């Protein structure tokens, strides 16, 4: 298999790089480099820049704003976006609910939601996990019973990322409690302004409030907001998760962070030589670079297979998810080692903290990296935990 880019693909890569150099606002790029949290307005403005260019939803059908690019060009675009580094378009709309609506939604749903997702006029969040239904998602208990032309929803979702900003939430709900757990689930689109919805923030280990609990108390949802057939939501969820895992390797992100690691390790340290001159530390970096190159080759093989198989999700994406998350966590660990004592977990005040106006301990560039390390603990869990991915590999690839 020839994994080299064609001259046309190389020219496309140059075009993407040139656009990112001129279009990405410098304050956003600097936050990305330093590992700082982006504000809501940062994500809004950047996605709208991409949408004006026609690049916010490149993998969608052309009729709904897609580009018609090949899988290889989509891969190049995603990697260059991550290496810039620039924010990815908000994934809950662009990569999750959008493709589900395209594949299984009604024409009215497509016309209503898809243009607004592309331009981030509607901010979406994901209502899947529950306190007792995480990795075993099919055990969810949030219930929806019919009442005329509405569903009445009661229950709780948790770990709902950025729900504090959301206009809409796509939810898995149980519509047939008597059926087997995978067979009684439906996929609903719920307006977050509906009476009966309560959002409560969860403070995470890095001190941030990125995730939330969402409570539903007699929330009335029009039946027209159900995607596809009743009790078929699990099929749509498998489709969604397969698409999510293909891009979850985040090769470009790891490349950008390895470059940042080398820059920090080359800095002078008080009373000692730069860490990059330590042979043992260089060996750690080299080992990660080898693993990242192997991951990149594997992802290119998956991309090539997608091109042959009509862009259908490939179970090998579970391999990308496992190794990609492990490499992201390993890079964050080396960054912690490189910044030394400034990696203390509580030296960075957060916006919600009364110490917000106090200067951080140590250099500014260390602040975001310390918090980033703790935030990265989640990547081996979301999108289906790595243990679940190993089960998928055993069944779908190894036939065990």
Catalytic residue IDs: 244
Per the CB < 8 A criterion, the answer to whether 261 and 331 are in contact is yes
Tell me the C-alpha distance between 152 and 216, whole Å.
9
What tokens were used for 286? 């080299």
User: 136: Cβ–Cβ under 8 A, 6 or more apart, which residues?
Assistant: none
Residue tagged 């990547």 (tokens): 379
Work out the widest C-alpha separation in the chain, in whole angstroms: 74
What tokens were used for 289? 């670079």
Tell me the C-alpha distance between 96 and 170, whole Å.
9
Tell me the C-alpha distance between 112 and 265, whole Å.
50
145 forms beta bridges with 152
Tell me the C-alpha distance between 122 and 124, whole Å.
6
Parallel, antiparallel, or unpaired: how do β-strands 168-174 and 124-127 relate?
parallel
């Amino acid at each position: 298999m020839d994994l080299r880019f064609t001259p046309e693909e190389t020219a496309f890569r140059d075009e993407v790089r040139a656009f990112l150099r001129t279009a990405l606002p410098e304050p956003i790029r600097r936050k990305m480099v330093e590992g700082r949290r982006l504000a809501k307005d940062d994500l809004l403005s950047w996605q709208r820049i991409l949408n004006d260019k026609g690049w916010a939803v490149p993998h969608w059908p052309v009729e709904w704003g897609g580009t018609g690019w090949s899988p290889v060009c989509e891969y190049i675009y995603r990697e260059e976006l991550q290496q810039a580094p620039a924010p990815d378009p908000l994934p809950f709309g662009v990569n999750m609910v959008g493709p589900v609506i395209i594949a299984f939604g009604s024409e009215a749903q497509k016309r209503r939601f898809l243009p607004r997702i592309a331009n981030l006029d509607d901010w979406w969040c994901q209502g899947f996990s529950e306190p007792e239904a995480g990795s075993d998602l099919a055990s969810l208990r949030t219930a929806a019973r019919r009442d005329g032309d509405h569903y009445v929803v009661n229950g709780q979702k948790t770990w709902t990322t950025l729900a504090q900003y959301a206009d809409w939430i796509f939810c898995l709900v149980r519509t047939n409690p008597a059926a087997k757990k995978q067979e009684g689930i439906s996929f609903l689109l719920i307006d977050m302004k509906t009476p009966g919805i309560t959002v409560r923030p969860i403070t995470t280990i890095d001190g941030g409030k990125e995730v939330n609990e969402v409570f539903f108390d007699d929330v009335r949802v029009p039946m027209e907001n159900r995607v596809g057939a009743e009790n078929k939501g699990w099929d749509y969820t498998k489709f969604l998760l397969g698409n999510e895992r293909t891009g979850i390797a985040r090769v470009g992100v790891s490349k950008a962070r390895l470059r940042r690691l080398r820059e920090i390790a080359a800095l002078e340290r008080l009373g000692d030589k730069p860490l990059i001159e330590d042979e043992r530390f260089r060996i750690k970096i080299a080992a990660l670079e080898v693993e990242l190159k192997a991951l990149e080759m594997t992802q290119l093989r998956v991309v090539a297979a997608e091109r042959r198989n009509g862009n259908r999700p490939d179970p090998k994406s579970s391999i990308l998810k496992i190794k990609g998350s492990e490499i992201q966590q390993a890079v964050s660990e080396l960054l912690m080692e490189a910044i030394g004592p400034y990696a203390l977990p509580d030296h960075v005040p957060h916006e919600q903290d009364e110490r917000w106006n106090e200067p951080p301990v140590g250099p500014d560039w260390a602040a975001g990296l310390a918090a980033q390390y703790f935030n990265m603990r989640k990547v081996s869990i979301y999108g289906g935990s790595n243990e679940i991915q190993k089960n998928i590999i055993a069944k779908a690839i190894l036939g065990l």
